[in-house]
């Protein structure tokens, strides 16, 4: 067995970014840019009114005080109007400012009599309520950088600059294989000796939060050839394969053997941790295989602690799980010299390990919002002692 630190270092050192792809901007939400993006046009593309009001030359206004109104310019006006110094033009938010004008006065601070504009704004000054051409960004300037996350606002910003497609790191193609003769699908009658299969449900839900959708699930009975054939098919069609069950040392644990027969090189198998000690991780070229233990809490713990770091590298994501240090709300005694990942609840001030830490129990995991990390070398943890916490919700 290797330590948790050694295992995570192996994943970090071996996982590299997937080849970038170019996709339509409207499909890029949440993705990470794989190349810098420059603006396609000035924003605004013209001097633009920031208010409904009247466009004018400030110098002309100071000279004439009363200005004659010459028509109007709405947003989207196709031609450029021109004003003289003694003139003003009705203008609306987003409309192009006429040539000869440099200022917009709010309509609330004006009065119109017989086509003449009278202004009651002691704060009026040159450039007021005008968005200068290129004041947001100029054509050719850097809009977003490689590594930036495409948030809704980022996508909207790129759209305003005329960008219609972006180069991003893709989501990996993934498959899930659930192994075991005892598994039954929810909704079907549960016969004696069977358990409802839940691991694919929780894994697919967790992957959806990473924008990885439509992950196929394969069932493999506890038969060496079946496990091998199913794994080979998944490897042929996936970047990452997640298996559940079949990685321990029992007579029906065939995943490590099947992986070897499929040409998968083992990075590590078995860790100094609880839960999830039998975890298997291997690679075939740039494809990844994670053999997760079968117990539901072990599966989810190993997903958070090992699969997510690999996906972060493949997709070039910022850290998905936030890590904080927090004082323990109650004491805890470990029963083995292993790294413990405990289901816990963090209230923003203190963290408490929940009851029912056994690896088959999911009810406590459903109420947890974090994992407490208790390193292998220390056995006793007192109230108020600061521990590492990985926030999962």
193, 304: one domain: yes
**Residue 148: CATH number of its domain:** 3.90.105.10
pLDDT of residue 253: 80
| pLDDT band, residue 251 (cuts 50/70/90) | confident
| pLDDT band, residue 51 (cuts 50/70/90) | very high
177, 277: one domain: yes
Of 97, 156, 158, nearest in space to 131 by CA: 97
28, 14: one domain: no
272, 359: one domain: no
* Residue 104 contacts residue 93 (beta carbons within 8 Å): no
| pLDDT band, residue 273 (cuts 50/70/90) | very high
pLDDT of residue 256: 93
The C-alpha atoms of residue 337 and residue 246 are separated, in whole angstroms, by 25
164, 176: one domain: no
**Residue 261: CATH number of its domain:** 3.40.980.10
pLDDT of residue 245: 92
| pLDDT band, residue 393 (cuts 50/70/90) | confident
pLDDT of residue 165: 97
In terms of phi and psi (left: phi > 0; alpha: psi -120 to 50; beta: otherwise), the region of 41 is beta
Last residue of a domain, one of 315, 343, 372: 315
Stretch 346-374: mean pLDDT = 96
Could you tell me the sign of the dihedral formed by the alpha carbons of 215, 221, 227, 233, in that order?
Answer: negative
- C-alpha distances (whole Å) from 140 to each of 46, 100, 151, 383 are 16, 27, 22, 57
Q: What percent of the chain stands above pLDDT 70?
A: 99
Structural domains counted in the chain: 4
Stretch 18-38: mean pLDDT = 97
Stretch 191-211: mean pLDDT = 95
360, 221: one domain: no
- The tens digit of pLDDT for each residue in 105-115 reads 999 999 999 99
Print the domain residue range for 83.
Answer: 48-131
| 17-21 own/partner pairs: CB under 8 Å, 24+ apart | 17/169, 17/313, 17/314, 17/315, 17/316, 18/169, 18/170, 18/172, 18/239, 18/314, 18/315, 19/170, 20/167, 20/168, 20/169, 20/170, 21/167, 21/168, 21/169, 21/170
Q: What is the DSSP pairing of strand 110-113 with strand 116-119?
A: antiparallel
163, 205: one domain: no
120, 142: one domain: no
pLDDT of residue 232: 98
pLDDT of residue 283: 98
Stretch 209-230: mean pLDDT = 95
Stretch 44-68: mean pLDDT = 97
205, 251: one domain: yes
250, 375: one domain: no
| Average confidence score pLDDT of the chain | 96
- The tens digit of pLDDT for each residue in 104-147 reads 999 999 999 999 999 999 999 999 999 999 999 999 999 999 99
- The tens digit of pLDDT for each residue in 7-26 reads 999 999 999 999 999 999 99
Q: Which two tokens stand for residue 283?
A: 């690679």
Last residue of a domain, one of 315, 340, 374: 315
Q: Which two tokens stand for residue 147?
A: 């590594």
179, 291: one domain: yes
Last residue of a domain, one of 105, 131, 157: 131
């Amino acid at each position: 067995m290797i330590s948790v630190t050694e295992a995570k270092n192996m994943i970090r050192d071996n996982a590299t970014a997937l080849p970038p792809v170019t996709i339509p901007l409207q499909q890029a939400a949440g993705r990470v840019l794989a190349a810098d993006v420059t603006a396609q046009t000035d924003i605004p593309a013209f001097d633009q009114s920031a208010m409904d009001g009247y466009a004018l030359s400030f110098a002309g206004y100071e000279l004439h005080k009363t200005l004659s109104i010459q028509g109007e310019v709405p947003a989207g006006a196709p031609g450029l109007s021109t004003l003289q110094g003694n003139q003003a033009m009705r203008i609306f938010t987003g409309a192009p400012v006429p040539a000869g004008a440099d200022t917009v006065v709010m309509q609330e601070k004006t009065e119109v009599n017989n086509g003449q504009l009278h202004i009651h704004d002691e704060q009026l000054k040159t450039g007021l309520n005008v968005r200068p051409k290129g004041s947001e960004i100029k054509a050719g300037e850097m809009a977003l950088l490689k590594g930036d996350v495409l948030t809704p606002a980022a996508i909207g910003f790129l759209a305003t600059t005329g960008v219609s497609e972006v180069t991003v790191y893709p989501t990996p193609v993934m498959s899930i294989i659930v192994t075991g003769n005892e598994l039954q699908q929810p909704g079907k009658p549960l016969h004696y000796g069977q358990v409802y299969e839940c691991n694919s449900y929780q894994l697919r839900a967790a992957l959806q939060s990473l924008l990885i959708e439509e992950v196929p699930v394969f069932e493999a009975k506890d038969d060496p050839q079946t496990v091998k054939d199913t794994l080979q098919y998944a490897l042929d069609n996936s970047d990452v394969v997640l298996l559940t069950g079949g990685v321990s040392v029992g007579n029906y644990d065939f995943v490590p053997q099947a992986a070897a027969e499929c040409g998968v090189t083992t990075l590590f198998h078995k860790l100094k941790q609880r839960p999830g000690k039998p975890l298997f991780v291997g690679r075939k070229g740039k494809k990844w295989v994670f053999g997760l233990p079968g117990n539901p809490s072990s599966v989810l713990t190993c997903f958070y602690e090992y699969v997510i770091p690999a996906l972060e590298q493949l997709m070039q994501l910022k850290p998905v799980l936030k890590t904080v240090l927090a004082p323990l709300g109650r004491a805890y005694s470990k029963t083995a010299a292993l790294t413990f990942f405990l289901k816990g609840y963090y209230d923003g001030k203190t963290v408490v390990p929940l009851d029912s830490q056994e690896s088959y129990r999911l009810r406590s995991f459903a109420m947890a919002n974090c994992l407490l990390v208790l390193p292998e070398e220390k056995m006793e943890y007192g109230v108020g002692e600061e521990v590492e916490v990985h926030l999962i919700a």
